[in-house]
Amino acid sequence: MFDHKTILSTLTTCPGVYQMFDREGRLIYVGKAKNLKKRVTQYFQNKRQDPKTITLVGQIASIAVIVTQTESDALLLETDLIQKHHPHYNIDFRDDKSYPYIALSKDDYPRLFSYRGARKELAYYFGPYPHGGYVKSTVMLLQKLFRIRSCKNTFFKSRTRPCLQYQIGRCSAPCVNFISQKDYANDIRYVKLFLEGKNQEIIQELTRRMNAASIQLQYEEALRYRNQIHELREIQKTQTLRVKNSNIDVVAISQKLGLSCVSILMIRFGRVLGCKTLFPKRNINANLSEVLTGFIQQYYLNLSAEEMPNEIIVNDKIDQLKLISAAINTRVKHKVAIKQHVKGARAAWINMAFSSAQQALTTRLSTNADIHQKLLDLKEFCKLSHAPKRIECFDISHTMGTETIASCVVFTDRGLIKKDYRRFNIDNITPGDDYAAMQQAMRRRYARLKKEEKPLPDIVIVDGGKGQLTQAMNVFEELQIDDVMLMGIAKGEGRKVGLETIYFSHTNQPFHLEMDSLAFRLIQQIRDEAHRFAITGHRAKRNKYQRHSILEDIADIGKKRRLALLTHFGGLQGVKNASVQDLSKVSGVSQTLAHQIYDALHGKVE
């Protein structure tokens, strides 16, 4: 029994960080305090507590503290510990993806490209942008407007004639000196002005150039300038809300049915770059202010000075606003204003961000409701006492018995949980023995779960009929697992969807489900995901040891047919680009085989 009174009697009144651990020694919560003794004592007072705190206190087995000199130091340390350990009861907005940038290399003829990762001094960087899609569309627009090259230097230096980008008006072909370095540098200057939101300056200069070209009777040049001006003015129309030279993040939070969503609207150089939505990794019944505070603290205390905006606008109250603001300013070495009540364009931005958060919540909740209904339907079909909370599915993939891989995918009430997926390299079996492969994979999987005392799934699905199901039953009998339902799903005649037969470990009777059944759709979805995961793993392993044509993986395609296909279409790329009708014209390739080849080359292999 945890004796909190003894711990409380030894605590200091200094500022610092407290860490709460459960009975297994796992860190479950990290908090900061101006007065450690006073703050930790509040958890054990009898006054009314929220459900999250009651649950947390019930799991505490020990508490450790780290004393700091100031409350600001405690805040920074708390943020670092949450990022490192991701405690269960802290609000956690993990986002491992780095932000994309638009980059301009520092070559004599600079290259325009999208970039993620640590910024090096070999290029100028513009951003960050909320997502890669916006970067890609912006790069394409700039190529269309100013014809800047995007090719790598190795390609650029080896050219003896213009490439396709020049032919379609997306590059001025500096690789073959179709443009002088001075004129190209001027186009680069326009790109920089555009990315800094100075469109009006570009329009004014292009207008002068257009008029000068007209006077000199250079009508083609004048037409190009006119088209650039038109495009820039069209872009300006889409940016109706502008605040000149402003770098602002607008952060809005919304909650519905216990789920929280934070939306970040990014404005750089006065232009709205896009919106990004984030969800906490766990729902812990926190209120709006608590979630928003946790997000601002975690997100902005981990941004670099270059990524940090000059202003953050929020739509709800932030606890300890002055403390968090001071900590952010200390970390990035420049002033960052955090504002709540705003007017004009900023108020419109708040509404945009809030609408995005609400829409993302509605989408997420509708998806979750669909999952819940599928699980309920599966519960009825399997005659379970409760809806399954965790389902695992296995599949085997190999080519002629070589490079065998087994996959295990996981499905819960939150959908497919990819971080829990596992692949197993199968060895020491007879090549092509799927039964032995399934047995080995399941033995390794569940022997480990039992050894580590981790929870077992409610249902285990194997991709196969009675034979594969029997292997699974033997493994469970060996490991003395008797409280997990085993299910086998066998493909129907001609491997047609909807003709699958389902078998259970507790009965020899086969079952069939209607194609429009929610339970059937769920089983099919999980089975197909296991199949995909097994195939991708197998292909990666196979390609590691040998390189050969993908045509070798297609049944009924031998050496002669493969050679006929490659000769007819001039290579593998030509075969991939061919339609079913074109494939069937090759000698020795029937209509059925043409379909089979087409499906295999377009990711539809069974």
- On the question of pLDDT at 309 being above 80, the answer is yes
Q: Report whether pLDDT(564) > 70.
A: yes
**Farthest CA pair distance, the chain:** 92
Q: What is the pLDDT of residue 136?
A: 80
Which two tokens mark 353?
Answer: 């961000």
Quote the percentage of the chain above a pLDDT of 90.
12
Distances (CA, A) of 104 to 111, 125, 192, 305: 6, 7, 9, 20
Residues of the chain within CATH 3.40.1440.10 domain(s) are 4-85
Taking only the tens place, the pLDDT of each residue in 354-375 is 888 888 887 777 677 778 888 9
CB 264 within 8 A of CB 251: yes
Q: Is the pLDDT of residue 333 over 80?
A: no
Q: Which fold has domain 4-85?
A: GIY-YIG endonuclease (3.40.1440)
- Are the beta carbons of 74 and 17 closer than 8 angstroms? yes
CATH 3.30.420.340 placement within the chain: 390-544
Question: How many Cβ atoms sit within 10 Å of the Cβ of residue 324?
Answer: 21
Residues with Cβ within 8 Å of residue 376, at least 6 apart in sequence: 387
DSSP state of 531: H
Q: Which fold has domain 248-362?
A: Nucleotidyltransferase; domain 5 (3.30.420)
Most confident of 95-104, 175-184, 494-503: 175-184
State yes or no: pLDDT of 283 exceeds 60.
Answer: no
Candidate from 185-189, 253-257, 445-449, 492-496 with smallest mean pLDDT: 492-496
Per-residue pLDDT averaged across 541-548, rounded? Answer: 66
Give the pLDDT score at 391. 94
Residue-wise pLDDT tens digits, 455-490: 899 999 998 888 889 999 999 988 888 889 999 998
Tell me: pLDDT of 606 over 50. no
Of the candidates 488, 462, 466, 469, the residue with the CA atom closest to the CA atom of residue 408: 462
Tally the C-alpha atoms within 13 A of residue 143's C-alpha that lie toward its C-beta: 23
Weakest-pLDDT range from 154-158, 551-555, 596-600: 551-555
Nearest to 282 by CA among 28, 79, 43: 28
User: Considering the chain, what is the average pLDDT of its residues?
Assistant: 82
Task: Say which residue, 158 or 543, is predicted with more confidence.
Answer: 158
| Predicted pLDDT at 140 | 83
pLDDT at 203: 77
Q: CB neighbours of 73 closer than 8 A, spacing ≥ 6?
A: 15
Confidence bin at 240 (pLDDT 50/70/90): very low
Q: Write down the pLDDT at residue 96.
A: 52
One-letter amino acid of 205: E
Query: Angle at CA 391, nearest 5°, toward 387 and 396?
Result: 155
Architecture of domain 548-601: Orthogonal Bundle (1.10)
Residue 116 has pLDDT above 50, yes or no: yes
Tell whether the model's pLDDT for residue 535 goes beyond 80: yes
Reported pTM: 0.52
CA distance 335 to 310: 7
Closest by alpha carbon to 204, among 191, 215, 190, 192?
Answer: 190
Query: What backbone phi and psi angles, to 5 degrees, belong to 297?
Result: -65, -50
CA distance 263 to 249: 10
Q: What is the mean pLDDT of residues 202-218?
A: 79
**Given the DSSP bridges, would you call strands 507-511 and 501-504 parallel, antiparallel or unpaired?**
antiparallel
Distance CA 148, CA 161 (A): 16
Residues 6+ apart with CB under 8 A from 239: 270, 271, 272
Q: What is the mean pLDDT of residues 568-587?
A: 84
Residues spanned by CATH 1.10.150.20 within the chain? 548-601
Q: Which fold has domain 390-544?
A: Nucleotidyltransferase; domain 5 (3.30.420)
Nearest CA among 337, 325, 299, 310 for reference residue 72: 325
Confidence at residue 130, expressed as pLDDT on a 0 to 100 scale: 67
pLDDT in tens, 481-494: 888 999 999 887 76
- The residue behind tokens 């047609």 is 496
For residue 162, the number of C-alpha atoms closer than 13 Å in the C-beta half-sphere is 16
Which pair of tokens denotes residue 311? 């202003």
Check residue 348 and give its pLDDT. Answer: 82
- Amino acid present at 240: T
For the cut 80, the answer to whether the pLDDT of residue 202 exceeds it is no
Ranges for all domains in the chain classified under CATH 3.30.420.10: 248-362
Question: Residue 93 belongs to what H/E stretch?
Answer: none
Q: Give the mean pLDDT of 578-602.
A: 86
Question: Using CA atoms, how far apart are residues 253 and 450, in angstroms rounded to an integer?
Answer: 41
Higher pLDDT, 132 or 1: 132
Q: Is 113 helix (H, G, I), strand (E, B) or coil?
A: strand
pLDDT greater at residue 285 or residue 299: 299
- What's the whole-number mean pLDDT along residues 52-65? 84
**Phi and psi (nearest 5°) for 574?**
-65, -35
